[in-house]
Amino acid sequence: MIYLDNAATTKMFEGGADIYKKYACQSFFNPSAGYNKSFEIAKELDGVRELIKKNLGATKGNVIFTSGATESNNLAIMGSKRNGKWEYVFSLGEHPSVYNVASALENQGYTVHFVGLLENGQIDYEELERVVNNRTRLISVMHVSNETGAINDLVKIDKIRREYCPQALLHIDGVQAFCKLPFNIEDFNADLYTISAHKFHGPKGVGALYVKNPSGLKNIIYGGGQEGGYRSGTENVPGIMAMKYAIENIDIIKNFQYVKELKDYFIKSIDNTEGVKYLKTESPYILSLSFYGVNGETLMRSLQDRNIYVGVGSACSTKKAGNRVLESMGMNIDEIKSHIRVSFSEELSLDDIKNACHEILDTYHKLLEKVK
Amino acid sequence: MNVILLRFGELYLKGHNRNYFESTLIKNIKSMLEGEEYKLESTFGRYVISNYSQDKQNKIVEKLKKVFGLYSLSPAIEVNAEVDTIKNEVAKIECKGKTFKVFVKRADKSFPISSMDFAKDLGELILNNNKNSSVDLYKPQCEIHVDIRMNHKAYIFDNIIKCQGGLPLGCSGKGLLLLSGGIDSPVAGYLMAKRGLELEALHFHSYPYTSEQAKDKVIKLANLLTDYVGDIKLHIISFTRVQEEIHKRCKPEFMITIMRRIMMRVAECICEKYNLGAIVTGESLGQVASQTMQSMTVTGNVIKEKPIFRPCIAMDKEEIIEISRSINTYDTSILPYEDCCTVFLPKNPIIKPTIKQAENEEQYIDVDALVEECLEKEEIINIMRE
């Protein structure tokens, strides 16, 4: 199997699964129980909070464990909203777990701005500059686009914020960036940062929200008051500890370099093939491609018969193909229909990429022959 | 004793065949209530279900509401047809301030009081016990029925629940439903089953152009249909090669016309093979290009010996959707997976094809061989009612 859909999810580290089992079957205590064994677990969780902060480059703030990115994004946005004439700013390229929260805010009567994308997949900075003002409460932008691999210039966004709306909070959905790109959160002063464990070989159902100033956040669910009251519910200790294992066992810079070689090799192999077009973006982990004349989903299914797995993003599968993100970058309907997403991991070899490219092109040409 | 009274409609009209219809209906009721404990008796034109545990009554009623051939039913109290016994039972009725009317029916003419007089007596009794209620003979909020039957039993009930009507499933033979995955075809299946037609189903899929999820959706739809039509044998045919061939060799605007002609041929072969007497489709006149009068002429033309039943033919989409919701298939039907009719969809399909044009296009492909190939790769899934 050649698995090229690592932006959808990654394979969990075997060592992480061992850790998971240890904390599920041996050190299984509820961190809030009060006896020493549970207190030890609580301290271990605090250790993971510090580890995440260290990886983000944060010197202050707190980390709240959640069930994953969707919950982190909901907490960041809904937990930041305030009554009054505040406004909320998002990009059109956001993941549904941000975009649909934004739409919900809009339906609740809040003023919400959606900023368009540039052709390269990044947020339109000039438009952002135009929509923010002294009523802006929150700017929520993704670090790396899950669809295209475009990396937003967060330093630039922060600069816009400081100039036009210093009161606004900055939330970054870092799902495709954390443990993948080298960065320091203090370079762009994010107030909130979302991470998800299963995107970097951790378990599913675990994530976190970094919060620079917790007093500005309101909880959105109610219960036993865990996580400082910001996220009630017994912590997923096995999941969190397995996430810790993943963080500790990833060499971000080494992986970045290696995966970049894979992506470059991939591009070199398919470049100059008639009908094939790709998006030049900065994240080495994600490559967005169009194979003119064939339907992306048909290509995806034909490839699975060859044991190769690629993503089709969130392309709508009905007669009317639609993809909000690609559309807002100005892609035409034919490009969108024939779009697939290839996403890499350091667990792939150069040979895998070589074989995959060969199979993908062969499948493409055979399909094209049938449908043209 | 708590019982459920069952009434059937059209069976009365069927003269000499009545026994056959009734035995089919009883068989279907028993099949629908499989796993439940109860007693079923037939008494003078009614069925009575009794000896079930009271907490199962709603469940049994819900199941019976799906049996074709039943016209209506009423949960009732059964007592001996004696004046005092009936009065004792009626005395317990609470009207909670609503207006009411008592209906007495006396099939047993040996009962000592006339229907009119007895209704008056019972009305008075209820009024005495429900001081804030009153009688309304024209638009009562509550209808209290007392049915005195030939078996010397009386049935007291206040609710007549409408059932499906139609004819008992199976008494009209067995047909083949073309099940696409859309909204219309499950409705068509339901409507024909209501007229007594048992069903098998046929689905065409076009992997890799359509997904496993699309096929799974059709299996789910067939599963939902079993609620009404019982077990379904689902025939699944891979249509990929046919579509590729047509796409390659015929004019694009004829894609769907030719495709549907081949589907019909395959359907008729399956009817032959499994001894099915009719083809059922969800077509509705003018809904899409392939459902114009001319298109249906051209697709129906390849069928030699079977009738094609199109129960949705005269319905608006909204009407079809309404039935689809009522039989619980709508939410599954609208799941967004492509079906094989959306693959290779031409921009401008021909709206008024002629038989001659279609036959002309078919010269470019080997129709018989393609049909043969379809049948060779037939997959069968037996879907049982849960």
- For the segment B101-156, what is each residue's pLDDT rounded down to a tens digit? 999 999 888 888 999 999 999 999 998 888 888 888 899 999 999 999 888 899 99
What is this model's ipTM? 0.80
> Per the domain annotation, does A57 fall within a domain?
yes
Report the residue count for chain B: 386
Domain count, chain A: 2
Select from A301, A320, A360 the residue whose CB has the most chain B CBs within 10 Å, as the one to mutate to test that interface: A301
Question: Which residues make beta-bridge pairs with B7?
Answer: B72
Same domain as A255, residue A239: no
Q: Give the amino acid at A129.
A: E
Same domain, yes or no, for A210 and A337?
A: no
Would residue A179 show up in a list of annotated catalytic residues for this protein? Answer: no
Give the chain A residue whose CA is nearest to the CA of B249.
A370
**Smallest CA–CA distance from A363 into chain B, residue:** B208
- The answer to whether the Cβ–Cβ distance between A319 and B338 falls below 8 Å is yes
Q: Mind spelling out the 3-state secondary structure of B144-190?
A: EEEEECCCCEEEEECCCEECCCCECCCCCCEEEEECCCCCHHHHHHH
A219 and A294 in a single domain? The answer is no
Which of A305, A312, A318 to mutate: most B Cβ within 10 Å?
A318
For residue A3, tell me if it sits in a domain: no
Please indicate, yes or no, whether residues A215 and A261 belong to a single structural domain of this protein: no
| Whether the Cβ atoms of residue B188 and residue B221 lie closer than 8 Å to each other | no
Residue linked to tokens 């890499």: A344
A371·B342 Cβ contact <8 A: no
Q: Phi, psi (5° rounding) for residue A68?
A: 145, -175
Q: What percent of chain B has pLDDT over 70?
A: 98
Contact B247 A370 (CB under 8 A): yes
A72 in a structural domain: yes
User: Over the stretch A246-290, which tens digit does the pLDDT of each residue have?
Assistant: 999 999 999 999 999 999 999 999 999 999 999 999 999 999 999
Q: Which residue has the tokens 């370099």?
A: A257
Residue A348 lies in a domain: yes
Range of the domain at A205: 14-248
Would you give the DSSP letter of residue A128?
Answer: H
- One domain for residues A22 and A109: yes
**CA-CA distance, B26 to B22, in Å (whole number)?**
6
Least confident segment among A113-127, B57-71, B129-143, B264-278: B129-143
Residues A279 and A212 in one domain: no
Chain B residues within an 8 Å CB radius of A302: 208
Mark whether A243 and A283 lie in a shared domain.
no
Q: Which residues of B touch A294 (CB under 8 A)?
A: none
Q: Is B248 close to A370, i.e. CB distance below 8 A?
A: yes
Per the DSSP assignment, residues forming a β-bridge with B250 are: none
Residue A314 has pLDDT above 60, yes or no: no
In the structure encoding, which two tokens stand for residue A118, read together?
Answer: 């540039």
Give the number of other Cβ atoms within 10 Å of residue B7's Cβ: 15
pLDDT at A339 over 50: yes
Q: Is residue A9 part of a domain?
A: no
Domains, chain B, ranges and CATH? 2-162 (3.30.2130.30), 174-383 (3.40.50.620)
Express each pLDDT in A162-202 by its tens digit.
Answer: 999 999 999 999 999 999 999 999 999 999 999 999 999 99
Predicted confidence (pLDDT) per residue in B31-41, tens digit: 999 999 999 99
Q: Torsions phi, psi of A92, nearest 5?
A: -75, -10
Confidence of residue A316 (pLDDT cuts 50, 70, 90): very low
CA distance B261 to B367: 10
Domain boundary among A203, A227, A248: A248
Q: Indicate the residue of A297, A316, A319 with minimum beta-carbon distance to B211.
A: A297
The CATH number given to whatever domain includes residue A304 is 3.90.1150.10
Q: Are A139 and A89 in contact (CB under 8 A)?
A: yes
The token pair that represents B26 in the structure block:
């009883």
A225 plus A306 within the same structural domain: no
- What ranges make up the beta strands (E) of chain B? 2-8, 39-43, 46-50, 70-80, 100-106, 142-148, 153-157, 161-162, 174-178, 198-205, 232-238, 279-280, 308-309, 379-383
